[in-house]
Structure 1
Amino acid sequence: MASFSNAVGCLATAILLLGAASVFAQTYDPMAAARKPARSLLGAENAAAPNPEFGGLPDSAGAEETFYQCTACHSTEIIKQQHLTDARWDYLWDWMVKEQGMVEPDEETKELILSYLKGNFSAGP
Structure 2
Amino acid sequence: MARNVVIKITLDVVVALLANTTINARDLGQWDDPANADLKRWYQDLKQPDNPAVSCCGEADAYWADAFEATSDGQYIAIITDPRDDEPLGRRHRDIGTKIVVPNNKIKWNEGNPVGHGIIFLNRADTVFCYLPPLGI
State the TM-score bracket (shorter-chain normalisation): 0.3 to 0.5
TM-score, normalised by the number of residues in structure 2: 0.33
Larger radius of gyration: 1
Work out which structure has the larger RCO, using CA pairs closer than 8 Å and 6 or more positions apart in sequence. 1
